[in-house]
Amino acid sequence: MQRSGRIALMPSRKRKYRVDLVIPVYNEAEVIEKAHTQICSVVDKLPHEFCFIYVNDGSEDGTEESLRSVRQIDRRVTALSLSTNFGHQAALTAGLDHSTGDIVITMDGDGQHPPEMIPQMIELIAQGFDIVQGQRAEEARPSFFKKFTSDTFYKFINAVSGTQMVAGAADFRALNRQAVDALKAMPEYHRFLRGMISWIGYRSVILPYHQPARIAGHSKYSVGKMFRLASDAIFSFSLIPLYIGLSSGLLFFALALIQLSWVLWLAISKNTEHVIAPGWSSLMAVVLIASGIIMILLGFIGVYVGYIFQEVKRRPIYLLKKEG
Ligand code: UDP
Ligand code: MG
């Protein structure tokens, strides 16, 4: 994947695009109006035709009312409501499914994805890229905890997965129709869009941005949600945990052969001196380590079976409450 810094931005032949902005929101009542105004201050200066697709991901606060009032003052706004909190990735999917524009830009509804990047994103798509992937600039990451978990996660996933993912990639990206259709053709239930984007290929470019603080409120990504997202990424994009099982099984089998040969040699050579050694602690260590490994591996297999179970049920990724 290229980085936009190395690409000379040639003014593209002027074309008027229909651009859909897909914005998932969960309990963002205090933010929506300000974030909408911020986005409008950028897009209203552009020659393209914009539509806003807000996806209310089962919010329990006044998000629905906020969206209604935004819609009253701006007729370009569509508000989809999911029947419950299906999660950020499902909400993004709902927005992508309902988009019709030539270009779709997905961004957070809390002001952390700066709308100032939108003109550059459209320009890169106009120059022939299918995907413009936003990447948080290094120094702008919000906290040590987020930085540490994000860095560790990307190192791990890139080591164990055949699909290489961009560290610090955010769900802030522009897609052309071809890339949106490719994503729509992937009906998997456990969705990790950052991985799916890398998997579909096409011509992509990375666009770094500086992430400002939230306009208000707090992060809706609880530790539980972060863990679920990481698990979706690892188990949907890697079979390596299963190979860990296979290789440690082989290792233990080799150790057992060595031990067996040693015991046989003792028996043949009638060497009884070693047999006197109690050996209980080392035996227990081997038994505990081996059973620990077996249990971990059964756990891995259990997770994959669980994922397969959820995929074969072919449940919808989200359910709509109503369309505004
Ligand atoms: N979000 C969502 N459903 C969720 C959690 C978050 O639609 O279950 C939305 C949230 O309203 C925001 C975006 O996803 O617009 C990113 O979430 P957040 O800002 O909480 O994540 P962070 O920036 O802390 O990683
Ligand atoms: Mg945020």
Is residue 323 assigned to a domain? no
Is residue 46 within 8 Å of 116, Cβ to Cβ? no
In the prediction, which pLDDT does 154 show? 85
- Domain end marker among 222, 251, 266: 222
> What is the residue range of 244's domain?
240-312
- Encoded amino acid at 72, one letter: Q
Which regions of 40-76 does DSSP assign to beta strands (E)? 49-56
Mean pLDDT along residues 158-163: 79
Both 169 and 79 in one domain: the answer is yes
- Mean pLDDT, the chain, rounded, equals 85
In the prediction, which pLDDT does 213 show? 84
Share above pLDDT 90 across residues of the chain, in percent, rounded to a whole number: 43
User: Residue 75 has what DSSP assignment?
Assistant: T
Please report, for the domain that includes residue 86, its CATH number.
Answer: 3.90.550.10
Both 207 and 96 in one domain: the answer is yes
Q: Is the pLDDT of residue 136 over 70?
A: yes
Question: Does the CB atom of residue 91 touch ligand 1 within 6 A?
Answer: yes
Where are the alpha helices (H) located in 79-117, listed in sequence order? 88-97
Is residue 11 assigned to a domain? no
Q: Is the pLDDT of residue 230 over 60?
A: yes
Q: Is the pLDDT of residue 320 over 60?
A: yes
Q: Is the pLDDT of residue 73 over 70?
A: yes
Q: What is the pTM of this model?
A: 0.75
Both 171 and 38 in one domain: the answer is yes
Both 213 and 245 in one domain: the answer is no
Q: What is the pLDDT of residues 287-317, one digit of tens each?
A: 778 877 887 888 888 888 878 877 777 778 8
Mean pLDDT along residues 277-281: 65
**Poorest-confidence range of 2-11, 50-59, 63-72, 197-206?**
2-11
Question: Does the CB atom of residue 29 touch ligand 1 within 6 A?
Answer: no
Residue 207 pLDDT grade (very low, low, confident, very high; cuts 50, 70, 90): very high
Question: Does the CB atom of residue 109 touch ligand 1 within 6 A?
Answer: yes
The number of the ligand nearest the C-alpha atom of 171 reads: 1
| Structural domain count, the chain | 2
The number of the ligand nearest the C-alpha atom of 220 reads: 1
More confident: 60 or 281 = 60
Cα 217 to Cα 27, 143, 169, 220, distances in angstroms: 9, 16, 23, 9
Both 50 and 127 in one domain: the answer is yes
DSSP per residue over 175-209, as a string?
EEHHHHHHHHT---SS--HHHHHHHH-SSEEEEEE
Both 69 and 148 in one domain: the answer is yes
